[in-house]
Amino acid sequence: MGEIVRLVPKPELERARLIREARAIYDSIFPSTDAVTEHPDDRLSQGTQSGRKALLRAVPVL
């Protein structure tokens, strides 16, 4: 007794599922900087820019 059950509409469940799926795809393409073993500063000092940083500047993050 005392349990509260929240009824969630199907569109809201679908939206949450799509967001989770999109985040998983994004993380598989652009792994977090913690997962990258190479230091971005090393590449920048060689005159190139990290591909992930360049894409993040071009593509807005939700």
Q: What residue ranges in the chain does DSSP mark as E strands? A: none
* More confident of the two residues 42 and 3: 3
CB atoms within 10 A of CB 4: 4
Provide mean pLDDT across the span 16-45.
Answer: 78
Q: What's the CA gap between 20 and 2, in Å, rounded?
A: 30
Task: Answer yes or no: are the C-beta atoms of 38 and 50 closer than 8 Å.
Answer: no
pTM higher than 0.75: no
Alpha helices (H) in 1-62, listed in sequence order: 10-29, 40-45, 51-58
pLDDT in tens, 7-30: 999 999 999 999 999 999 999 999
